[in-house]
Chains A and B, each alone.
Chain A
């Protein structure tokens, strides 16, 4: 599923102060591509994911995902789009406290009325929590909640995965397991993936690395190194078209 972001600007008001989270950001991501989004805190990474997931609307610009203009969707259409096409891994997990781990994973299947417990259980085991299915989020550690959130994002088999620091709270062993899971989803199942990370621990498997600084997008690429200069050149024009 391709993502096309064109001249997107997003500003927040905080009291009398106006904060520009994204400034004239443009890029394209091809289907099946794994893109890493890096940058310091408050640089606009989460805002960009929210806009692509139609959780928010840009002040200017247009975002299309798989040919669908997500900036013009109604609330109901946006909900349907998220449910059918997007798997979102939130930085703060956003698990519902009254549901067990298994039920939290099943939740995206509920709107369509087809909760598949077997599929949810498989994912729970894939993230190493097969024995914690009946536990509520309050009974899980931060890392375990993170893994439940990852399994929830994958349960609908979405074409697009948006992950906001998916391994930020994981130890090395579990981080590698989750990286492998996401890598497998992207490479073997052809999913498009946009991952936010503070550092560059996932830079290895990424096809491209976008860096955001104070709302502006810089595009870098480590492999192959020869493309880096071209990417940076395009980024300064506000558009990256590197393949």
Chain B
């Protein structure tokens, strides 16, 4: 009981100021929390958009890959009698970008099935890396592994068209005219290929009518090189460390391929930035509101706390004079400020969480991100804790400094100041 009285009692005429300080800090904490909840909700919306759009991914594609590989083996012309245009993407040049490279070989093959043949898109990929940018939902079996041999994972539509199931095999004609037999190790229920090639010939599709390829057979790059007969790539994805690094990566790629007009570098970062620009500006506004509130209300609250502390300085000196240790006196002194600022932060944040709207429409001209859901998370807790600590520190610092700088006797003999 004595400890509680030492910490919270003896406010005297400053009691009203302590109450006002508490109220101001509650209001400040509520405004800061509300603003930061909107900011966090908007950041999550942008993060979701970034996850969908992947502005950090840059595509490098060759002009000739479609002309060469979409020639089906039909009619009287076998594919190797057509002019062959070598794809121009040299994997070594991609390394100049200083980012993660996802090499791809994509081509079209006729697969003979019984007495008929079928157009099938075949993709040579690096399985682990490709799975980070594209979506592969394996329904049965497993996905590819980088050390796999002549095995394939294909979507449900392609499997049905080929009449193969898990463990089944089908032949694919290689560039040297020989067939390679691929064993099916996985069937995909869903497939979302990042930067898919345009669909230009009739082939099985998971999403009929789509303008891009929605199905295909996936093999490792080693297998696709064996089928293709070349190590050069038809396209590749380059993943920058962060989206903001994309311009630099694009510049380096364009520099690397400047003498090769058949290679194109394209990015979605600029479009994404334009899309979310006004969203980001609104976020900055809410962040500024939070910062200004924290600064103004916090300094006002800290000043009120300072008045309370200055009035109690003699009490703390008295405690030291009758033998309270420094740590014990510090507990008594800091307990009041920490409890006031901390309780205000908790109450304010609870009020904000209780009364904040569940959905908030950010004023945005271009971004079609929908309404955002304000969210409360650990980062906001950290900001509020930091704010409370800063207010407490500003409030107590002058008194603590006076107590430290002057002797106990001097502090005892002086009124506030």
Contacts and interface: CB of A to CB of B under 8 A. Distances in A.
A72 interface: no
B137 interface: no
B320 A79 contact: yes
Contact of B323 (A80, A98, A103): A80
A111 interface: yes
A158 B324 CA distance: 15
A133 B199 CA distance: 94
B325 A55 contact: no
Given A55-B407, A90-B412, A103 B2 contact: yes
Interface string A77-111: 01110111010101010101111000100111011
Contact of B5 (A57, A79, A90, A103): A103
Interface residues of B, number: 27
Interface string B1-26: 11101100111100000000000000
A82 B410 contact: no
B192 to A, nearest CB: 66
B contact patch SS: helix
A106 B1 CA distance: 12
A115 interface: yes
Interface string B315-356: 100111111111110000000000000000000000000000
Given A50-B409, A55-B409, A110-B2, A88 B10 contact: no
Interface in A158-200: none
B326 A115 contact: no
B410 A110 contact: no
Contact of B321 (A47, A82, A98, A103): A82
Contact of A108 (B11, B323, B407): B323
Interface in A107-155: 107-108, 110-111, 115, 152
B367 interface: no
A226 interface: no
A55 B408 CA distance: 5
A28 interface: no
Q: How large is the interface on A (under 10, 10 to 19, 20 to 34, 35 or more residues)?
A: 20 to 34
Contact of B322 (A75, A76, A98, A107): A107
Contacts of A79: 320, 323-326
A119 B322 CA distance: 17
A80 B10 contact: no
Interface in A45-65: 47, 50, 53, 55-57
A111 B323 contact: yes
Contacts of B410: 56
B2 A75 contact: no
B326 A98 contact: no
Nearest to A100: B5
A108 B6 contact: no
A96 B6 contact: yes
Interface of A: 47, 50, 53, 55-57, 75-76, 78-80, 82-84, 86, 88, 90, 92, 94, 96-99, 103, 106-108, 110-111, 115, 152, 156
18 contacts: A50-B407, A55-B321, A57-B407, A75-B320, A76-B326, A78-B408, A79-B324, A79-B325, A82-B321, A83-B323, A83-B324, A98-B11, A99-B9, A107-B322, A110-B2, A110-B324, A111-B323, A115-B2
Given A55-B409, A79-B324, 4 more contacts: A94-B318, A99-B9, A103-B1, A110-B3
Interface of B: 1-3, 5-6, 9-12, 314-315, 318-328, 407-410, 412
A-B CB proximity, top 5 nearest? A83-B323, A98-B9, A98-B10, A50-B409, A55-B409
